[in-house]
Structure 1
Amino acid sequence: MGMPDAEGQGPPDGLPDLPPEWGRVVVPDDASALAHEARQVRRELRRVRQRAVWRRRLGLTPRPDRRPSLGLPVLVLLVSVLITLSGLAAVTWPRSSRSDGSPTVLPYPTGTPAAIGPLPALDLVDAEQSPVPLRSLLPAMIILVDACICAEQVTQAAAAAPPGVTVVTVIESRRVGSSPTPGVRALADPAGGLRDYLHLAAHPGTAPALLMDRKGTLARLVPELGPVDQYRDDLARIAA
């Protein structure tokens, strides 16, 4: 039988020895004295059962009599699909077009961008370093050749220009040589006034052209000089 406790009392008859670390075990005469402990035990048992139920539903604890549940993998897959669809919707959702007021220049446009006003009073420089008022050459086809000499296209433009229309090549430099193309006047624009007027940056391999009428109004901006048929009618219009 068990050893007596500190008060000389041993365990009740018929009960095995209890571990000494439990201390003194008192069995009350009234079971209601254990109601608080019973409630705590019941709450803990409910929590354990609820955790077990949710683990079975999510497939975290496979039952021995059935295959593991696919609840958790399906839930993860569903969340991934929803995130992917949300990202695609954000990318492909139609947005209202915004404009800062600047014109969109397309190759060989049919009209003049409204934001470009009359040609300012610009003085260019010839091969003798003499100033040449650009307005004195109007009407004119002004070709910017600082990014591309484009000799073949310039020659075709000079041949297509009607009488009275001056064909001018302009390079953004302090010095300019004589034009290799007959009927074409070569000038320099050291201050870059023409490109500032057009808000047009230089692109290697392209030579934009301006078709200016007698009043200094930009009738046509050709971002890249190409076949003459693209602007032949505009040359005839500025010559009238």
Structure 2
Amino acid sequence: MGKPDAEGHGPSDGLPDLPPEWGRVVIPDDASALAGEAAQVRRELRRAAGARSPYRALALPMLVLLVALLTTLAGLLAVTWPRATRGADRPAPTPSSPPVALTGRALPALDLVDSGQAPVPLRGLLPAMIILVDGCPCPAVVTEAAATAPAGVTVITVTGGRTVAPPPVHGIQALADPAGGLRSFLGQPAHPGTATALLVDRAGVVTRVLPELGPIDAYRDDLSALAA
């Protein structure tokens, strides 16, 4: 049987009165009758303690950081992972060529230098076949051009800087272009293994551009026409 509560319904055994708003309070004789309420109170306390835990407060930022890290690693692997077909789907680069508009233009009044570093006006050597050998000496094709050039047409080899490369055969005017004016006029850099040539008539007009000097048959008629 329960004992009377503190609202005047029975003796209080000297206990202080409880707040009236608590209502009727019955204390059971067997404490096991409160097991259910005690378990509920413990659950509420654990839940409240978990909500105050600093580890839960850090859980969401740590999860976001982990996802960002995994995404970055996946991107790095996609870029650096070797592929047998990498680059196979890209078009092969085509050899660069001077603009078509270069043909028919006047050769600039450039001063190059000879082996003694004396200035040589380029337009004073026209008509001429000017071969830029800063990418390749190419002695075979240079020699073939010199052997085929008609009388009155100067074959000129031009290197970059101030060092003049000795020509492969006699009869060739070897010069250097310290200022790089000829390359600038041509509009393309030197390519290793390639010699580029310009055919210029006596009036100083470019009649043919050979981005890659090859066999003489490809430009024989144009070279002969310079003597006209």
Q: Which TM-score applies when normalising by structure 1?
A: 0.53
Instruction: Pick one of 76, 95, 106 that aligns with 1:118.
Output: 106
Aligned to 1:215: 203
Aligned to 1:229: 217
Asked whether the equivalents of residues 106 and 206 of structure 2 are also in contact (C-alpha less than 8 Å), the reply is yes
* Structure 1 position 181, deviation (Å): 1.4
Asked whether the equivalents of residues 102 and 206 of structure 2 are also in contact (C-alpha less than 8 Å), the reply is no
Task: Give unpaired runs (5+ residues) of structure 2.
Answer: 1-93
Aligned to 1:147: 135
* Structure 1 position 180, deviation (Å): 3.1
1:181 aligned onto 2:169: yes
SS of aligned partner of 1:201: coil
Give the percent of matched residue pairs that are identical in Structure 1 and Structure 2.
62
Distance 1:221 1:214, change over 3 A: same
Partners of 1:214 and 1:192 in 2: how far apart? 23
Asked whether the equivalents of residues 124 and 132 of structure 1 are also in contact (C-alpha less than 8 Å), the reply is yes
* Structure 1 position 133, deviation (Å): 0.2
* Structure 1 position 115, deviation (Å): 4.6
Asked whether the equivalents of residues 158 and 176 of structure 2 are also in contact (C-alpha less than 8 Å), the reply is yes
Runs of 4+ in 1 over 4 A off after TM superposition: 104-107
SS of aligned partner of 1:170: strand
Offset from partner CA, 1:136-178 (integer Å, 9 cap, x none): 0000000000110000110000001011110000001112143
Distance 1:115 1:177, change over 3 A: closer
* Structure 1 position 212, deviation (Å): 0.3
Asked whether the equivalents of residues 105 and 113 of structure 1 are also in contact (C-alpha less than 8 Å), the reply is no
Partners of 1:133 and 1:153 in 2: how far apart? 25
Residue identity in the other structure for 1:113: V
Asked whether the equivalents of residues 143 and 168 of structure 2 are also in contact (C-alpha less than 8 Å), the reply is no
Residue identity in the other structure for 1:120: P
Residue identity in the other structure for 2:142: V
Offset from partner CA, 1:211-239 (integer Å, 9 cap, x none): 00011111000000100000000001121
Partners of 2:227 and 2:147 in 1: how far apart? 14
Aligned to 1:193: 181
Distance 1:220 1:115, change over 3 A: closer
Residues 53-72 of structure 1: pairs in structure 2 closer than 5 A: none
Instruction: Please give the root-mean-square deviation of Cα atoms over the aligned residues, in Å.
Output: 3.3
